Structure 1
Amino acid sequence: MVHTCVVAGCRNRRTPGTTLSFYRFPRDSERKQRWIAAVNREGWVPNDGSRLCSTHFISGKQVKNPRSPDYVPSVFTTAPLSPEMKEPGALEILDKQEARVEAANALLFLQGQGRSAADDPRQEERPGEREREDLVEDSASSSLSTDEDDDDKEPLNNCKRGKFAQASDVPVNFDDTLKALKKENQFLKESVEKMSLSENSLRNDAEKVKFYTGLPNYFVLETVMWLLAPHMDGMKNVKLSKFQQLLLTLMRLRLDLRNQDLAYRFGAKVGTVTRTVHRMVNIMSSTLVPTAVFWPSRAELRKNLPASLRASHPDCAVIIDCFTVPFEEEQPQGGLSGPHGVGSSCNTLKYLIGVAPQGVVTFVSRGVMGNVSDKSLAEGCGFLCKLLPGDVVLATRNLDIGESVAARGALFKIAGACQEEGCGRSEGSPPPDTASETTSVQRHVERVISMVKRRYAMLTGPVESPFTSASERTSTLSTFDKIVQVACALNNLCISAAPLE
């Protein structure tokens, strides 16, 4: 059967081999009026043979969901109506196949009436009537099977059950359904937000901030972001935001996650993660470290001197110690080496750290590979240049730098050994409690060093080889040296820096 689209200017016809679908106008009066209004043919009223082709729907087919844009046809061209075009219904009514369809519909209607009458107990079903009814239904079904209109199929199925379209359907409350879907959508959004690594998910969760960054709360994290943001403008990375780049780097230092792991978490490539970490470490080293790791003035040191040291060491300027970090493998030729030509006979990096009496890291040396002595490290890292005449340098063990410190007019003291000859204790000063002082100072230094390592697991090693090479041609510091300094700077931003008790 040939169907022609009723839209003005549309010449689509149902022909053999066509992929178009042709839909009859809805039986629902309200929806039918909306279709008529969409067709926009003045004074025109559709009949049973009127059809609308699928090209006038956005998705290429009609949708019975009232919330769908294809509930009503909306795709129309502005082509004028051809004067030769006749009413499509006039030709279709004369079509013999259409006549058969209409006859089948009439038979189905009579069939439904007959069943209603058969339900009356006063009437008896005649022999063979059931078989004839089935035959009529099958015949009507085969006549209508060529029509692609979904509206034709639905009443046909209902007629097979002896019912008419939607007569017994349970009404649906779309308002309640919409409210339930909105509530579910909001719940899913909140769940995804909590699981994501974004600013909103960290803003009101101090424990999450502390776990992923080592910083005490979101305010400190936001302050660090504010300090670094102006220096990140030149970083060409459209995949990750500035906040994500900072968070990714802090997670690398804090949890020592592999680059592949971070790439999965942030939906980026491994190369992007590697470049981001190196860039951010360089930015934090040049911006954050000078702000947070610095040598305080003598007046500031004495003002914040813990009470336990005021009597025994009122001029204490710093407490020093050394710590080592292992690295993964032997360095290639031209890698990092000791300041005095010391080779990498031992696969460790050695650092000297200086801690103010109140527990703030004030000095970190660059890493030296190999079996270098504490004295060589202290004399070659620039630590002695920070001392002023009269300063007292404390240590929990002998670092063999007493003469070098004395050359600066300062005093080197080993806690608990001040009563020994040559300890440098001034005459008339009260002798300290040797055992308690040694334990107190030693715990203090060890606590600060272990706190930095616990807070940033990357410092526990082993160090990956790409981090042990010089990060820039103009810099003598390796990337890992900068990481150690950045970790100490971030540690100083925390509320508790293990004050000396």
Structure 2
Amino acid sequence: MVTRRVCCVDKCKNTNSGCVKLFALPKDSLRRQQWLGKLKLRKLRCNTKIENVRVCSIHFVTDWVPTCFLDGMPEKLGEVRAADAFEELDVINNTQEEPIENTVSSEPENEISASNNNIDVLHDNTFINEVKKLQSEITVLQEKLKLSDGKVINAQITIDNLNQQLSDSFAKLKVSEMELSNEKLEVKVLSSQVDEFQHTISFLELEFESTQVMSKIKKDMNGCKFYTGINSFERLWTLCNFVIKFIPPQHSLCKLDYATQFVITLIRLRLNLTMQDLAYRFNISLCTCSKYITFWLHAMHKTLVPAFIRWPKQENVRKTMPLCFRDRFYRCICVIDCFEIFLDRPTKIKERASTFSTYKSHNTVKFLIAITPQRYISYVSKAYGGRISDKFIVDDCELLDKLILRDIVLADRGFTVHEAVSLQNAELKIPSFLGKRNQLTNLEVEMSRDLARVRIHVERIIGAIKQRYSILHCTLNHQCTDLSGTDEERISIIDQMVNVACALYNACPSVVPII
């Protein structure tokens, strides 16, 4: 039977396990007696073998003799009675076959016990000093621990304060973020309101500009003449009302009234402003502006042209004949000439060829105009291509049908239409040709001078029309020559513009004085 070995110190029952080790008695007799003296096992039972005695490592400070916890073990290490240790030793001894013989005499035992007592006192003092030293170190460590605990507590308080401040700052940050988002929303709302206000301001400015243009036309005669070419607002208002009588009533959804639309059309003819400019000035769309101008050009062509461009009667002309015509050209009914207006280069080859003028070296359209001796425009032909000759235009237009007996027509050298005019029982007078002769006769020179003196008025009127209505003085889009309207009344935009400009010129006092 194998028995578990236990430490023989009183109240200690440690075994050889873990970090605790059991040590046997030393073989040296002196050290063995010292061990036994410390362990208070000098008198063993007769049946106990000394080889079975064991001491655990807890009772050693050095490896000399056991000195620690010999009177009893603390609660942490466990308490065991000495009797229990002896019982276990007896059990171990009973397993042996031979009993222990007590060969040690009483006298040596007394000497050994005395020496052991001295050693015990020496070791006890050393142990006490060591314990005190350990207690002082423990006290110092406890004080340091208290200080460190205080610092830890202070550090913990500081950390708590910092955490509180951090949480407060996070809360403030969330609040500031919410305020920032609200401010952003407010900024968006305000920006949208600002955009609306700016749009309203621009709209009001445009309305103010349009009303300002109309106010200048109404109040200032020079402003009226500058914008419309009409020298007074009363005449302008009279012409507008005259045209309105022959057109349908104004629709209620029209943004601008008829008078403003009429003024827009005149400004287009007078200043040659672009459609977009006029749309901005009067706060309308580009399409609406184009529709207004097209409508009023057609309306004025239908009303003003028949009213102001009329062929005069022979009796009326002779009654008011100017002095410069009375001597040699008393029976003069009109002075004719052609003028040209530049066009963009057409895309189609046929149109490009028919409108190219070798005289102007440009694509043009040509009109025949006739004025009375009183500087009044009496006839304007339709538009012809720049390639067409003056003779062909006279033969093709309706001018010859208006001539009657003994009428005289004055023209330039290019109008060699004597036969066509003679067929109407009228007479054509043009400057004399030199031909194969070296010089003209005195009568021919005098006649040519007188003819040039009176014929120059038609060129002055042509120049005045182009100067007053600058749209005729610039290069027009070739699409203006496209015919529009019904089959019975197909007429191009450029025909309407030229006829309306001539009618408006007749509606105002002539720039050419009557002498």
TM normalised by structure 2 equals 0.54
| Aligned-pair CA distance for 1:232 | 3.7
1:367 maps to: 383
Partner Cα separation in structure 1 for residue 445 and residue 250 of structure 2: 55
1:215 match: 230
* 1:437 equivalenced with 2:450 (yes/no): yes
Q: Give the deviation of 1:497 after TM superposition.
A: 4.1
Q: Distance in 2 between matches of 1:497 and 1:385?
A: 29
> Does 2:484 match 1:471?
yes
1:480 aligns with 2:494: yes
CA contact (8 A) 2:271 2:470 kept: yes
1:273 shift after superposition: 1.1
State which of 175, 182, 205 in structure 1 corresponds to 2:220: 205
| 1:494 maps onto 2:494 in alignment | no
Amino acid in the other structure paired with 1:487? A
What residue identity is the alignment partner of 1:470?
A: L
**Aligned residue type for 1:395:** A
Describe the shift of the 1:376–1:394 C-alpha distance in structure 2 as closer, same or farther (beyond 3 A): same
Q: Is the 8 A contact 2:367 2:380 kept in 1?
A: yes
| Alignment partners' CA distance in 2, 1:328 and 1:269 | 26
1:272 corresponds to 2:288: yes
Cα distance, 1:195 vs structure 2: 7.4
| Contact kept? 1:293, 1:489, Cα under 8 Å | yes
Give the match for residue 474 of structure 2: 461
Structure 2 residue identity aligned to 1:277: I
Match for 1:486: what amino acid?
Answer: V
| Residue 482 of structure 1, CA deviation | 1.0
1:363-442 aligned at under 5 Å gives the runs: 363-415=379-431, 417=432, 433-434=446-447, 436-442=449-455
One-letter amino acid of the structure 2 residue matched with residue 380 of structure 1: D
1:450 aligns to 2:463 (yes or no): yes
- What are the within-5 Å matches in structure 2 for residues 107-126 of structure 1? none
C-alpha deviations, 1:79-106, integer Å up to 9, x for none? Answer: xxxxxxxxxxxxxxxxxxxxxxxxxxxx
CA contact (8 A) 2:338 2:368 kept: yes
> Aligned equivalents of 1:229 and 1:401: distance in 2?
41
Counterpart-to-counterpart distance in 1, 2:240 and 2:461: 25
CA spacing shift, 1:343–1:468, aligned 2, 3 Å: same
In structure 2, how many angstroms separate the alpha carbons of the residues matched to 1:398 and 1:370? 15
Shift of 1:344: 3.6
Q: Is the 8 A contact 1:312 1:432 kept in 2?
A: no
Deviation sequence 1:260-301 (CA, Å, 0-9, x none)? 111111111111111111110100001000000010100111
| Higher-Rg member (1/2) | 2
* 1: CA distance, partners of 2:424 / 2:511: 29
Residue 371 of structure 1: how far off its partner (Å): 0.7
How is 1:108-257 mapped onto 2 (pairs within 5 angstroms)? 196-197=211-212, 199-234=214-249, 236=251, 238-257=254-273
In structure 2, relative to structure 1, the CA distance for the partners of 1:420 and 1:385 (3 Å cut) is: farther
Q: Which residue of 2 aligns with 1:40?
A: none
Question: Which letter does structure 2 place at the counterpart of 1:300?
Answer: N
Distance 2:212 2:347 in 1: 35
Amino acid at match of 2:490: T
Answer yes or no: is the 8 Å Cα contact 1:419–1:431 preserved in 2. no
Match of 1:290 among 283, 306, 311: 306
Deviates more, 1:464-473 or 1:193-202: 193-202
How many angstroms apart in 1 are the aligned matches of 2:237 and 2:370?
Answer: 28
Amino acid paired to 2:509: I
Measure how far apart 1:431 and its partner are: 8.0
Residue-by-residue CA offset, 1:334-353 (whole Å, 9 max, x unaligned): 97x9xxxx834442101100
Deviations 1:69-88 (A, max 9, x none): xxxxxxxxxxxxxxxxxxxx
Q: Could you tell me which amino acid in structure 1 is paired with residue 334 of structure 2?
A: V
Q: Deviations over 1:13-34 (max 9, x none)?
A: xxxxxxxxxxxxxxxxxxxxxx
What is the CA-CA distance between 1:369 and the residue it aligns to? 1.4
In structure 2, the CA distance between the partners of 1:278 and 1:195, relative to structure 1 (3 Å rule), is closer
Instruction: Name the residue aligned to 2:371.
Output: 355
Q: Is the Cα contact below 8 Å between 2:410 and 2:455 reproduced in 1?
A: no
Alignment of 1:47-126 (within 5 A): none
Give the residue type in structure 2 aligned to 1:223.
T
Distance 1:331 1:219, change over 3 A: farther
Deviation (angstroms), 1:499: 3.4
Structure 1 residues 388 and 305, CA, compared in 2 at 3 Å: closer, same or farther? Answer: same
* Distance verdict in 2 for CA 1:329–1:240, change over 3 Å: farther
Amino acid at match of 2:216: S
The structure richer in helix per residue is 2
- Where 1:196 maps in the other structure, the secondary structure is helix
Amino acid at match of 1:241: D
Q: Hey, what's the Cα distance between the residues in 1 that align with 2:466 and 2:408?
A: 26
Which residue of structure 1 lines up, in the alignment, with residue 146 of structure 2?
Answer: none
Q: For residues 433 and 398 of structure 1, what CA distance do their matches in structure 2 show?
A: 20
Gaps of 5+ in 2: 1-203, 358-362, 437-442
Quote how far apart the aligned CAs of 1:484 are. 0.2
Q: Deviations over 1:380-433 (max 9, x none)?
A: 111111111110000133311111111111000015x39999xxxxxxxx9894
Residues in 1 aligned to 2:503 and 2:246: alpha-carbon distance in whole angstroms: 17
Query: TM-score normalised to the size of structure 1?
Result: 0.55
**Contact 2:335–2:455 (Cα < 8 Å) also in 1:** no
* Distance (whole Å) between structure 2 residues aligned to residue 326 and residue 439 of structure 1: 26
CA contact (8 A) 2:231 2:508 kept: yes
Change (3 A) 1:379 1:405: same
Which residue type is aligned with residue 247 of structure 1? V
Partner of 2:354: 343
The amino acid across from 1:227 in the alignment is F
**Residues 223 and 420 (structure 1), Cα distance of their counterparts in 2 relative to 1, 3 Å cut:** farther
1:235 Cα deviation after fit: 5.5
| Contact 1:312–1:431 under 8 Å retained in 2 | no
**Shift, 1:239, TM fit:** 1.5
Letter in 1 for 2:354: G
Residues 344, 495 of structure 1: alpha-carbon distance in 2 compared, 3 angstrom cutoff: closer
In structure 1, the gaps of 5 or more residues are 1-188, 422-429
